[in-house]
Structure 1
């Protein structure tokens, strides 16, 4: 049994935790399945029971579960903590790298720190200050413009801080940037997928860079170039065990049969020699400019590149499996968050796979622009029809309800697919505006939007959004540059 202390000096003064009075014996009823998980955690890491009273499970992901616990501190008060239990199959270097990110870069500039770490055999629990926060989906449609400006400013501060250490977070999204609206506090959490830049200051991220060349499972990825990848139960893609599918077998057989047809008939055994490239012409794709993907494209050997992250927040270079990925992918994710904040639509992108996700990006940023940007980072992207680039202000104002929805103001994809959160303040439903009652509701809603400043969002904010959603990672704005943007000119001294 081991208990490993972590650096805490920079964390204790943050006041991120919520101080509690002596806890009451009356507690809310915990669901049976959560209670069983808590009992299991006490069983596998028994030293926790001597320090914490775990009261609830507050988060669950592919690689970890997060619990709410409280403990008595030196002053005699009880304080709440977040306890992150990492799954036992996590790579040891990956666990250590996450801890090092928290201890080296955490505890300042809106980045979560670490208080303590417990370990028993293969089970690791990271203890962090608990940040009381509101669910993003519940508040995204109610925030004022000024709250949005403050939110994105503090997110950029956190990104600038971790990027200074050469840390690529890789999973920037609202649920990983905790926001206490009442106290105006923020915390960037979950470095479980973090990677390092070539010049990273996090030593263990350097080791992960080396390990990634031989073991994709360190990043929760499948090594598609490995001959026996489907037989190795430890290989994962997006955190799920990989099993060979019938579709893979079928496409492989189709490719094999196509190749056999392309090879000339065999002559006598004595005349068999290695065939030149001219005798084996490359297979030609036949799905170009169509709305389907041919078997040849499906059967081609896929390129290995990091794809970790959450669907809907992945940058174009991640979706196209560009091997050279840097801190710019975090900036794209911040741009998607800002897009949700300005439009009131969350999640803004919701795709079943990477191709659909790339198509959704084209719908906003334009197909021609996307293809040109992909070419600049060494990828070829094709689209069967031309999609025009949208005006970001018109898009966001229409979705939020500041601007009426005309036939040409939004693409059909947005008119047909409405998010439930938009209905609370949406003014764009043609049927709803026909009655006098709807006109009254519209007037009230417009007044609320004006009260929250949504009728006077400056052009600078949409300029920042445009720079964050730059399709080319080489020219995409950095966190440091974004903080110096004119939209934050009165916040630069904070």
Structure 2
């Protein structure tokens, strides 16, 4: 494929929010005027499309791409539907070519969407893909039986095992990128716009695309913590630290400000600054729990790591800015999807930023477990209090409403989420006064409140629970393996397909 000579500023193609653009309020199917304008623009930009396709509607729109529904007259006389993905001209040409190579090499089988044609006119590129009519995840979640969930996860893992064999890290696994046709029982993994190559990738252009853009940018619309008021901060915090070079951190001397000697007979200072011994073994700065950033933190080398993906589905190693990320991040995202399927809550995690997202994960998987996992990939997490790990079966059954609650209380209710403070080098001024701590903690609490409220659980007749009153232990064992905090021991897609949960599939 000849790629267009577009703007050299690299852009990522975000996931598509599928939504109908057809106005049916008057009982007739009429395309809205704004959609008509977009279709006309596309036909003018790529005139060749009009020779083969009749564009019917706009069915999806993302930050850097738009998807249209089109019909084509086949030689047999039958009409066939296609999805036309128009890539916004500002997308980097290498990224466009890499996505196309993923579709052509790995697509078209094993529940992975393929590409049929590709059109290019100047700086406009259009992928033509088979159209799979599908239902929105949120619309089918409440009515899915456990057997349907089991098959859904099997086919998702099948698709992941296939792309991972090519050394492709999808990076944006979520329900809207795994199309599901309930009637035909068909599935399709789509949107490789954020894909990266593993060290052994067979997609050569993925290696080149990473050379063009080695560190992914933040997701569009996500709050930038550096822009927050520095006078506000968090008292309860988790700090992520990665030394810039290998050395004995414990042997380094801690720098503390000198204090004036207290005059005889004067009352002792009521300063809230902790003593050096209370800061923990190995800390090397003097700004911990203060509203300022010391020279040690300011001189620390900035941490650069890929972090592209959708909030709520990012793995812990992504949130902690681990520079080495592999296909394991897709498996974590698959675990979050299974968590939503078993609990009946979607989205399960909904955080305003990476820090609150990490706090929410800790309320489910435990703070001590998170600290131990972080050490495995070179990060230090400091927590102000201990959070126990939740029993996954108890949590999911409580949220789904299949576990009885005595006196209206939720058993094993997750504790209030920890508040998190970022690395002081990258987000200066966030730690400090209580107002910011309270706001971040409220954000984390509100995002999980509806998921732990027994009143939100739908009352079901025991005969109509569709297998939810007899979910096997294997389902929660697989969930535990997918949500392993340590990517080194997290289950792979190939091994997940051999899990006892799928023994008859």
Q: TM-score range with shorter-chain normalisation?
A: 0.7 to 0.9
Aligned CA distance change for structure 1 residues 407 and 175 (closer, same or farther; 3 Å): closer
Aligned pair partner of 1:460 in 470, 474, 479: 474
Aligned CA distance change for structure 1 residues 368 and 447 (closer, same or farther; 3 Å): same
The count of residues paired between Structure 1 and Structure 2 equals 405
Aligned pair partner of 2:495 in 466, 481, 492: 481
Deviations 1:299-339 (A, max 9, x none): 66641110110000000000011000000000000000000
Deviation at 1:52, TM superposition (A): 1.2
Other-structure match for 2:274: none
Distance in 2 separating the partners of 1:83 and 1:421? 38
Deviation at 1:475, TM superposition (A): 0.2
1:153 and 2:179 correspond: no
1:447 and 2:428 correspond: no
Aligned pair partner of 1:238 in 219, 227, 236: 219
Distance in 2 separating the partners of 1:400 and 1:242? 31
- 1:381 is paired with a residue whose SS is strand
Structure holding more helix per residue: 1
Residue pairs, 1:361-372, within 5 angstroms: 361-372=361-372
1:344 and 2:344 correspond: yes
Deviation at 1:428, TM superposition (A): 2.3
Q: Is the 1:3–1:118 Cα contact (8 Å) retained in structure 2?
A: no
Bigger drift between 39-48 and 178-187 goes to: 39-48
TM-score by length of 2: 0.74
TM-score by length of 1: 0.75
Other-structure match for 2:128: 127
1:96 and 2:112 correspond: no
Q: Say what the alpha-carbon RMSD is for the aligned residues.
A: 3.3
Question: Which has the higher relative contact order, 1 or 2, with Cα contacts under 8 A spaced 6 or more apart?
Answer: 2
- 2:387 is paired with a residue whose SS is coil
Deviations 1:49-101 (A, max 9, x none): 22111111111112211111111112111111111111111111100000000
Distance in 1 separating the partners of 2:481 and 2:112? 24
Deviation at 1:212, TM superposition (A): 3.3
Q: Is the 2:350–2:447 Cα contact (8 Å) retained in structure 1?
A: no
Deviation at 1:166, TM superposition (A): 0.3
Distance in 2 separating the partners of 1:342 and 1:169? 23
Q: Is the 2:84–2:128 Cα contact (8 Å) retained in structure 1?
A: yes
Distance in 2 separating the partners of 1:395 and 1:178? 27
Q: Is the 1:404–1:427 Cα contact (8 Å) retained in structure 2?
A: no
Deviation at 1:187, TM superposition (A): 0.2
Residue pairs, 1:19-418, within 5 angstroms: 28-213=29-214, 216=215, 219=216, 221=217, 237-239=218-220, 283-287=285-289, 295=293, 302-405=302-405, 406-411=409-414, 417=446
Aligned CA distance change for structure 1 residues 245 and 344 (closer, same or farther; 3 Å): closer
Aligned CA distance change for structure 1 residues 153 and 242 (closer, same or farther; 3 Å): closer
Aligned CA distance change for structure 1 residues 418 and 360 (closer, same or farther; 3 Å): closer
Deviation at 1:413, TM superposition (A): 5.3
Distance in 1 separating the partners of 2:291 and 2:376? 24
For structure 2, list consecutive stretches of 5 or more residues without a partner in the other structure.
5-26, 233-255, 259-282, 418-443
